[in-house]
Amino acid sequence: MSQRPAPAPDLPSPVLAIESSCDDTACAIVAADGTIMAEATLTQSGHVPFGGVVPEIAARAHLGALPALVRDVLDRAGMRPGDVGAVAASCGPGLIGGLIVGANFAKGLALAVGRPFIAVNHIEAHALTARLPGITPDGAPFPYLLLLVSGGHCQCIAVEGVGRYRRLGGTIDDAAGEAFDKVAKMLGLGWPGGPAVEALARQGDPTAFALPRPLMGRAGCDFSFSGLKTAVAQKLAPHDRAALPHDVAAGLAASFQMAVSDIVADRIEHALDMMPDARGLVAAGGVAANTALRARLTGIAQARGLPFAAPPLRLCTDNAVMVAWAAIETMREAASRNLPIPDDIALRPRPRWPLSDMAARFAPAGVTA
């Protein structure tokens, strides 16, 4: 089986994909060879007053935005609905209301134009983005270690092939992105918190405050950020947050970001020890856009003689290009096994969808993967 993305066989192409698992409404059209024909992402603003995503607001916003967004992407690609070869959508894990809206819209479109519908696992889409042609010179050959860091996920995953994943470790409390959001709220910054904390951290001293590094040095590659978040709150307790001195806020932001980078770097070193056959290190998810974290990960990979890959910033956060590419990889894998193109029209969206379930779609009939 090819370790790199193979030349596209005769697959349904192009793929129109929809992403609606959280607060980004996205649509993209991608050809079987990875050419991005058109893409668009709308980030919802209705959650800002709440300092986090409100599921009901997100679902309603997806419902209102999708028809016009899909029309716009089709227009920019110079296509009509009947010109697409397949339709895909994130079907989990994520906020169930948004997943239902996006998946049902995509299923309706697939039925209307008589095309197969591919259900995509949102985490698998992040896992395979580095293999999109043009992101890495060698196409991110299997196996590689994936660090998925976002608002809802923080995991180390051994990516051994399409549909073949091993979870090496993950967060036991908050995800890294969630910790960034909560610290940003403590500091009176905007939401989402990651970019705001990173911008403020550039103006501060990362050694200004002594903060803990939970689980650092421990065996395995699990993560914990709850204690770090609490420590930031304790450092802020003596101050009037309405008039927090800039140097204090910047120093806390820089110290927090450094602590997160130290924790992640330590956990990745352990994960690479657990995966000696890794041929690369890949980062994905919204927090992978953090430049300080990328620099640390690049250094770790170089020290081990491994390539480091991360999607461009626009493809780190939730997007539909990764959903389309995951569908293409799924169809390619099925073709390589002489299996029919999947048609998941009967699959229901689900808030939880373990990657371990993905191997089953390539199991021969009557065989449990």
Name the residue among 207, 213, 180 with its Cα closest to residue 194.
180
Rg (CA), the chain: 21
**Is 299 known as a binding-site position?**
no
pLDDT in tens, 241-276: 778 999 999 999 999 999 999 999 999 999 999 999
Query: Is 83 assigned to a binding site?
Result: no
What is the full DSSP assignment across 264-321? HHHHHHHHHHH-TT---EEEESGGGG-HHHHHHHHHHHHHTT--EE---HHHHSS-HH
**Would the annotation count 347 as a binding residue?**
no
Q: Is position 181 annotated in a ligand binding site?
A: yes
CB atoms within 10 A of CB 1: 10
pTM, two decimals, is: 0.91
Dihedral (CA of 286, 137, 270, 356) sign: positive
Q: Note the pLDDT of residue 48.
A: 72
pLDDT at 364: 67
Q: Which residues of the chain have a pLDDT value below 70? A: 1-9, 49, 51, 364-369
Q: pLDDT at position 50, please?
A: 72
Ligand-binding annotation for 159, yes or no, is: no
Q: Determine whether the annotation assigns residue 139 to a binding site.
A: no
Distance CA 6, CA 8 (A): 6
pLDDT of residue 365: 59
Does 273 carry a binding-site annotation? no
151 marked as binding residue: yes
Give which of 230, 308, 319 is closest to 272, Cα–Cα. 308
Q: Which has the closest alpha carbon to 127: 158, 171, 168, 98?
A: 158
Q: What is the pLDDT of residue 12?
A: 85
Same CATH topology for 15-130+316-362 and 143-310: the answer is yes
Distance CA 360, CA 369 (A): 5
What is the model's pLDDT at position 3?
A: 55
pLDDT at 2 (0 to 100): 43
In sequence order, which residues have a C-beta less than 8 Å from that of residue 357 and are 6 or more positions away? 121
Where in the chain are the domains? 15-130+316-362, 143-310
Residue 211 near residue 259 (C-beta atoms within 8 A): yes
Check the annotation: does 126 bind a ligand.
yes
What pLDDT is attached to residue 359? 92
51 is in an annotated binding site: no
Q: Is 239 marked as binding a ligand?
A: no
Q: Which of 357, 26, 43 shows the shortest CA–CA distance to 191?
A: 43
Residue 194 among known ligand-binding residues: yes
Query: Which fold would CATH assign to domain 143-310?
Result: Nucleotidyltransferase; domain 5 (3.30.420)
Query: What is each CA distance from 106 to 8, 21, 37, 65, 277, in whole angstroms?
Result: 23, 13, 18, 13, 38
CATH of domain 15-130+316-362: 3.30.420.40
